[in-house]
Amino acid sequence: MTDTTGGRDAESVSKFVESFAAQLVEAGMQRMPARIFAALLSSDEGAMTSVELGEQLRISPAAVSGGVRYLAQQHMVSREREPGSRRERYRVQGNQWYEALTNREAVLKRWEAALGEGVASLGAETPAGRRMAETLAFFEFVDGEIAAMMERWRVYREERFGSAP
């Protein structure tokens, strides 16, 4: 086995990273954040330094910096500092990240606000206004359901994988 990273075949890891990143891109994520995220996800530690990311992905420190900032804002990675060092590590926080993925809460709230304005400006009695009110109800419904779904996931996860976070 070709093994240049200390445990795995570097090439097949890289291949997975790029292919998973491509899926994320297709789903709307920017390219650099997607690649960085995929790299972190497939690292054994679940964490990498800026330099390691730059080397594996062949990108500049500036690109790492920008990508990581985006991911941190979305709560998909967290940054940690080894005490007494200027070096940071970026970490995929266990299952926190996919909870963030479904936590489109902010997005849903904005949609709901926009639809609410739509109902108001079109008039609740017009056909368009009524259609929009129903759409709004749908998003409010989804909003409420998601919390319950995530709770069920935690239970299921616990019993299947053991060890809560």
Partner DNA sequence: CCTTAACTTCACAAATTTCTGAAGTTAGCG
Partner DNA sequence: CGCTAACTTCAGAAATTTGTGAAGTTAAGG
Distance in angstroms (rounded) separating the CA atoms of residues 58 and 121: 51
Q: Which two tokens stand for residue 43?
A: 């690292």
From the list 98, 105, 147, 151, which residue makes contact with its own copies (rule: CB under 8 A)? 98
Q: Does 78 bind its own copies (CB under 8 A)?
A: no
Residue 137 touching its own copies (CB under 8 A): yes
Phi, psi of 79 (to 5 degrees): -105, 140
Cα–Cα distance measured from residue 20 to residue 56, given in angstroms and rounded to the nearest whole number = 15
Stretch in the footprint of its own copies (CB under 8 A) among 53-61, 68-76, 81-89, 118-126: 118-126
Contact 129, 123 (CB under 8 A): yes
Structure-token match 């297709």, residue found: 26
Residues within the interface to its own copies (CB under 8 A): 7-9, 12-13, 15-16, 19-20, 23, 26-28, 41-46, 92, 94-95, 98, 102, 107, 110-111, 114-115, 117-118, 121-123, 126-128, 131-132, 134-135, 137-139, 141-142, 145, 149, 152-153, 156-157, 160-161
